[in-house]
Amino acid sequence: MSSTKDLKQRIKGTKNTSKITAAMEMISAVKMRKAVAKVIAIRPYAESALQVLEKVSQAVKLENIAIFKTRTVKNVLIVVVTSNRGLCGSFNTQIIKEVRSQIEKLEAKNAELNNIEFLSIGKKGDKMLRRFGKKIVASYPDIVSEPSMEAISSVSRLLRDEFDAEKYDKVVLVYTDYISPMVQKTRSRRILPLSYGAVEDELDEMDKHPQPSYINEEIKTEKLEKVKKLESEYTIEPSPEQVLRTLVPRLLRMQLYHALLESNASQEAARMLAMRNATEAAKDMIGEFTLAYNQLRQAKVTQEIAELSAGMAAVEG
Amino acid sequence: MKKIVFKIITPEKIVFDDEVYQITLPVREGEVTVLPDHIPYIAGLKSGEVAIRKGPKDEEIRLSISGGFIEFHDNVLLLLADTAEKAVDLDLERAEEAKQRAEKIMNEASVSDESYPTLVEMFDKEVTRVQLARKHRTHHRQAISTEDSAN
């Protein structure tokens, strides 16, 4: 039976832990909001980039450009976005689950599939993939903590180069999509070969976030303009191909950047929830310990009184 | 008077959004100035300086941008840049420091290095920023000195 001293110590320890978890919950909440704000901020860029792609695709046939061409899938690269730190519930295991189901799908669909390799963004995913004996060609832990278009450019360049060299015929991105603080969903998306539809899907995904009013207005006006625009012929300088060459890397970077932001928002949301649960569990534990402590103390007092009165009785008797 | 709705959009935010009269852009093959009623136009940009005039006789507003492209139609000009900064926001010393840092890294890196193109890109960007910050500073000084002589 634990002594009152032990119990007191445990209560104190649990209280300290709960203070830390409560603080972590608050920090995650702030970080999550920041990441969500960034996702919203990228939308106008994404939309305009898509518009330009649409215009350019009227001048050149996208199917004739290598990076838009689908090939027989023999070698696949899967880009896995996870977190660098733990304590975020099942966030990372969910991603690995998605990766596994993705592998199964790829194997079922592509008869000529030869090899699947991985590129990891985030330490946790990296570790898990290694444990499963997967081949990781590159690992980028740093860009998780500070995602920026610049940081991502080396990843996107690597992807493009390997795709151009036909080392991979398909690149799939697996990440967690932030839907609300309580709901996050793992997603897989083909990012290479590029396709107009995939970028469009991405825009729809951004739409689910609450938009500041000014963006809504913009969408409306832009839809009206769309009808008009298709009629006018564009002068494209230096050439449509050249503009595509500028546009393509940016589209790819944008997709990676967006996935990373969604993943970070999800990660913080998951951590927030995990920490809230931990704080609550700590509260329950403190309750139980306090009860046990009080019972123990009560028992001790009762025992002492009983001993005292027994002693008195013996003396008087 | 006709005006152009001009927006500079980066992945992080909308840097500039206003009605302007004239915009000079650093396109791949030199400079292009866009005035109202320009033909529909799409072009790739290099790192450099964007100069904006709100009216034909207004003072130029300068911004440094790094790479991107533009789309113009019906007097709406969208500029999609990787980064964009207003001259006023640029701090010369900081820009100079960043340039030196970039220069140092670039000198150390070998050409075969995988990240070399990224470095060149970075260097170009910093150089433009320094140039712009310098220009802005001299402009500012001139403005002050003319004020002084007026007094």
- B49: helix, coil or strand? strand
Distance from CA of B144 to the nearest CA of A (A): 37
> Which residues of chain A are within 8 Å of residue B75 when distances are taken between CB atoms?
none
A160-203, pLDDT tens digit by residue?
A: 999 999 999 999 999 999 988 899 999 998 988 888 777 777 77
Task: Look at chain B and report how many structural domains it folds into.
Answer: 2
CATH code assigned at B59: 2.60.15.10
Range B58-97 burial, b when 16+ CB lie within 10 A, else e: eeebbbbbbbbbbbbbebebbbbbbbbbbbeebeeeebee
Compute and round to an integer the Cα radius of gyration of chain A.
29
Please judge whether A234 and B42 are an interchain contact, meaning their C-beta atoms are less than 8 angstroms apart: yes
Closest residue in B to A44 (Cα) is B9
A38, A56, A153 member nearest B42 (Cβ): A56
Q: Is the per-residue pLDDT at A212 higher than 50?
A: no
B83 & B20 share domain:
yes
B11 & B59 share domain:
yes
Which domains are assigned to chain A?
Answer: 26-272 (3.40.1380.10)
B61 & B94 share domain:
no
Largest Cα separation within chain B, whole Å, is 59
B79 & B27 share domain:
yes
B130 & B82 share domain:
no
Reported ipTM: the value is: 0.71
**CB-CB contact of B86 with B18 (8 Å):** no
B76 & B134 share domain:
no
* pLDDT of res. B89: 66
* pLDDT of res. A78: 94
B32 & B76 share domain:
yes
Query: Which of B53, B87, B121 represents a domain boundary (last residue)?
Result: B87
A44, A55, A154 member nearest B9 (Cβ): A44
Please judge whether B118 and A157 are an interchain contact, meaning their C-beta atoms are less than 8 angstroms apart: yes
Residue A196, CA distances (Å) to A56, A91, B49 in order: 11, 30, 31
What does residue A164 show for φ and ψ, rounded to 5 degrees?
A: -60, -40
B39-52, pLDDT tens digit by residue?
A: 888 898 888 889 99
B23 & B71 share domain:
yes
Query: Which of B68, B87, B106 represents a domain boundary (last residue)?
Result: B87
> Which residues of chain A are within 8 Å of residue B119 when distances are taken between CB atoms?
none
The per-residue pLDDT of chain A, averaged, comes to 86
**CB-CB contact of B72 with B38 (8 Å):** yes
B77-121, pLDDT tens digit by residue?
A: 999 998 888 766 666 667 777 778 777 777 776 655 556 667 777
B81 & B13 share domain:
yes
Q: Does B12 touch chain A (CB under 8 A)?
A: yes
> Which residues of chain B are within 8 Å of residue A221 when distances are taken between CB atoms?
none
Q: Is the per-residue pLDDT at A66 higher than 90?
A: no
Distance from CA of A238 to the nearest CA of B (A): 7
Six token digits for residue A113: 């599939």
Percentage of chain B with pLDDT > 70? 78
B23 & B80 share domain:
yes
Please judge whether B74 and A229 are an interchain contact, meaning their C-beta atoms are less than 8 angstroms apart: yes
**Strand locations in B10-89 (E):** 14-20, 22-27, 30-34, 41-45, 48-53, 60-73, 76-86
Range A237-273 burial, b when 16+ CB lie within 10 A, else e: beebebbbebbbbbbbbbbbbbbbbbbbbbbbbbbbb
Torsion of CA A96, A200, A146, A99, to 10 degrees: 10
Please judge whether A243 and B122 are an interchain contact, meaning their C-beta atoms are less than 8 angstroms apart: no
> Which residues of chain B are within 8 Å of residue A49 when distances are taken between CB atoms?
80
- Residue entry with tokens 């009165």: A309
Query: Which of B62, B87, B112 represents a domain boundary (last residue)?
Result: B87
Q: Does A236 touch chain B (CB under 8 A)?
A: yes
Q: Is the per-residue pLDDT at A217 higher than 50?
A: no
B56 & B98 share domain:
no
- Residue-number span of the structural domain to which B134 is assigned: 90-150
B27 & B66 share domain:
yes
